[in-house]
Structure 1
Amino acid sequence: MQTCYGIDIGGTKIELVACGHDLEVGYRRRINTPTQDYDAFLQAIAGLVRAADADLGETATAVGIGVPGVVDRGSGRQLSANVPALTGQNVGADLQRLLRRPLHLGNDLQCFALSEAHGGAAEGYASMFGVILGTGAGGGYCVDGRLVAGYNGIAGEWGHWTIPATLLARHALPILECACGLRGCLERYVSGSGLALIHRHIGGDQVEAGQIEASQVVARAQAGDTTAKQALAIHRDLLGHGLAGVILAVDPHVIVLGGGLSKFDQLYRELPAAIATHLFKGVRVPPILPPTFGDAGGARGAALLARQRSGAI
Structure 2
Amino acid sequence: MITAFDIGGSTIKAALARGPESLTMLGRVPTPRDDFSAFADAIAGLIDKGGASKDGPVAISVTGVVDPDSGLVTCANIPCIDGRNLARDLGTRLGRTVLVANDADCFVLAEAHTGAGRGHRVVFGAILGTGAGGGLVVDGKLHPGAGGLAGEWGHGTIVATKVSVAPFELPHFACGCGQSGCLDTVGAARGIERLHRHLHGTDLPSTEILARWEAGDAQAEQTIALQVELVSQPLALVVNIVGPGIVPVGGGLGNSAALIARIDAAVRPRILRKLDRPLVVPAQLTTDAGLVGAAMLGLESQEP
The 8 Å contact of residues 159 and 234 in structure 2, kept in 1 or not, is answered as: no
The 8 Å contact of residues 23 and 304 in structure 1, kept in 2 or not, is answered as: no
Q: 1:139 aligns with which of 134, 140, 143?
A: 134
Gaps of 5+ in 2: none
Identical amino acids, percent of aligned pairs: 38
The 8 Å contact of residues 128 and 143 in structure 1, kept in 2 or not, is answered as: yes
- Structure-2 change in CA distance of 1:287 and 1:74 (3 Å): closer
Q: Is 1:96 the equivalent of 2:91? A: yes
One-letter amino acid of the counterpart of residue 227, structure 1: Q
Residue 198 of structure 1 is matched in structure 2 by 195
Q: Is 1:124 the equivalent of 2:100? A: no
One-letter amino acid of the counterpart of residue 221, structure 1: W
Tell me the CA shift for residue 60 of structure 1.
7.0
Tell me the CA shift for residue 13 of structure 1.
1.9
Q: 1:107 aligns with which of 102, 110, 117?
A: 102
One-letter amino acid of the counterpart of residue 218, structure 1: L
For residues 230-289 of structure 1, the C-alpha deviation after alignment (integer angstroms, 9 at most, x for no partner) is 111111111101210211110100111111111111123211221135435x54486222
Gaps of 5+ in 1: 207-211
Aligned-residue CA RMSD (Å): 2.5
Distance in 1 separating the partners of 2:170 and 2:67:
33
**Structure-to-structure mapping, 1:119-198, within 5 angstroms:** 119-164=114-159, 166-167=161-162, 171-198=168-195
Q: TM-score, normalised to structure 2's length?
A: 0.89
Distance in 1 separating the partners of 2:224 and 2:30:
32
Q: Answer with 228-237 or 218-227: which moved more.
A: 218-227
SS of 1:183 mapped into structure 2: coil
Q: Answer with 90-99 or 271-280: which moved more.
A: 271-280
Tell me how many residue pairs correspond in the alignment. Answer: 301
The 8 Å contact of residues 58 and 97 in structure 2, kept in 1 or not, is answered as: yes
Q: Is 1:18 the equivalent of 2:13? A: no
Distance in 2 separating the partners of 1:84 and 1:167:
39
Q: Answer with 119-128 or 24-33: which moved more.
A: 24-33
Q: TM-score, normalised to structure 1's length?
A: 0.86
SS of 1:141 mapped into structure 2: strand
SS of 2:236 mapped into structure 1: helix
